[in-house]
Chain A
Amino acid sequence: MATVIDIKNVKKSFGKKEVLRGASLKIERGTTQVILGGSGSGKSVLLKCILGLIEVDGGSISVNGKPANGLKETEHAELMTMFGMLFQNAALFDSMSVWENVAFVLLQRKMDRDEAKRIAIKKLAMVGLRADVAELSPAELSGGMRKRVGLARAICHEPEIIFYDEPTTGLDPITADVINDLIIKLQKELKCTSVVITHDMHSAFKVADRMAFLYQGQFIAEGDVKSFKNSDNPYVKQFVEGNANGPIQVTV
């Protein structure tokens, strides 16, 4: 299997705060990679580094064998067409209606508006939203609906690589499972590579092919689902079991 995203020894600090301290991970084509890690461990920052939204301080990231950092603007835009990103807080454009958000890329490509809207409504249906939300503005949506619109927008241009930053957080258990199934279905149908950040262990085990655990700025464990379920690594074990007692100390 070919490596699509190769993260090598990535370092990133904000001021004095070291968030990533040499994180390395290879993500294989066509797999669903789940990234686990405590709140504030730098999972979202890592995704933004891969997307070039945050400049890394050290290390390198390559996508399909080509470096993904320090690109010229046109090259970077070209690279972005391969990606779809669901932001943790959805990051919907609040000056546009729901369907214009979903069809943003299509409208940028000057697709006919009726056609773009038809496709947007189809994508909304895939994430379990009815056609009548299409005309609403993002401010009129609930948190879970916003997340799903964000997801529809991320997949609208059928990208090769999809990043999901906590796709099921804030959803009811049934809708959450609809999203799980959607992630699996997209991966099967589009043969896309998915990177999923989640705290929802049920979802993690359901969608993952590979899992990795980010702790104190580095990946301290990586493996398939089985190896995580039966891990002897005390850190992974504590996290997967959701146990307050163990080597990971969370100060309240």
Chain B
Amino acid sequence: MSAVNNPFTLIGAVVLGAVREMGEITLFLLSALRQMLRVSGGAAGQFARQCSFVGVESLPIILLTAFFTGGVLALQSFNGLSGGPLVNTQLGRLVALSMLRELGPVLAGLMLASRVGAAMAAELGTMRVTEQIDALVTLAANPVRYLVIPRVLATLLMLPLLVILANVMGIFGGYVVATKVLSVPAMQYMDSTYGAISGEDMTMALVKAAVFGLLVGLMATYHGFKADGGAAGVGQATTRAVVYGAVSILVADYFITAIFV
């Protein structure tokens, strides 16, 4: 049997490839962490700019997403409860828990992966293929310190903030739909919401957000840095940054949830 036809050889090659890729990403993260200990002046300015790009400029789209997600959650849960007697006491609780524990962090993370991850990978990929990263090296600047750290730090710190706001907005979206469309009494809806939120849920939301933020920044900068082969290479790097970012968020989400439950 030839190597190509043998399924075990093929699976082996795929697994080896995946392991190598994960190893490389880990090394990249480690080199970034090493550099973090000596962040220089130029990098601080980069960090501020990235925070504004990642945090402030992502706000509208993330809030909009969260609002409608909360609304949909209210509609769906209302159906789930068959519009029955439990609606008044349970609807707020269902919306808040789903939002906090799952949809807030995951959706904000996915939005960030597509909006910010793509932009970062495209920018760094372009810098790579136009030799700007080489130029940084010849000017005795460390590209990891100068380009990667500020971006990864920005996504790591900004996503938890975005998630807090997204959760508030999601709960508000649920409230609007529940009270205006489904005619749930406002007081009871709010009581049910407040009763549901625990410190553990908040911690879970923030842990998820921080991990997802790290993943988005890491995947974007790693794939941007590895780009080669002109415009097509930048396009591929951008696609990879988004796909790997999104998939790694969903995988990490499973494991974090499993640990907390």
Contact = CB atoms under 8 A, between A and B. Distances in A.
Given A51-B137, A80-B138, A83-B138, A107 B130 contact: no
Query: Main SS of the interface on chain B?
Result: helix
Contacts of A91: 130-132, 134-135
A92 B132 contact: yes
Contacts of B136: 93
B140 A108 contact: yes
A26 interface: no
Interface string A95-126: 00000000011011010000000000000000
A108 B41 contact: yes
Contact of B134 (A53, A77, A81): A53
A213 interface: no
A92 B139 CA distance: 12
Contacts of B40: 108
B234 to A, nearest CB: 13
B141 interface: yes
A62 B137 CA distance: 18
B139 A87 contact: no
B127 to A, nearest CB: 8
Contacts of A48: 134
B42 interface: yes
A73 B142 contact: yes
A89 B41 contact: no
Interface residues of A, number: 25
A153 B131 CA distance: 14
Given A91-B135, A108-B40, A108-B41, A77 B130 contact: no
A142 B169 CA distance: 48
A215 to B, nearest CB: 25
Contacts of A76: 137
Given A77-B142, A93-B132, A94-B132, A53 B137 contact: yes
B138 A89 contact: no
Nearest to B138: A85
A108 B138 contact: no
B130 A108 contact: no
Nearest to B31: A73
Contacts of A94: 130, 132
A51 B137 CA distance: 9
Contacts of A73: 142
Given A51-B138, A84-B138, A93-B135, 9 more contacts: A51-B134, A51-B137, A78-B140, A80-B140, A91-B130, A91-B131, A91-B134, A108-B141, A110-B41
Interface of B: 40-42, 127, 130-132, 134-142
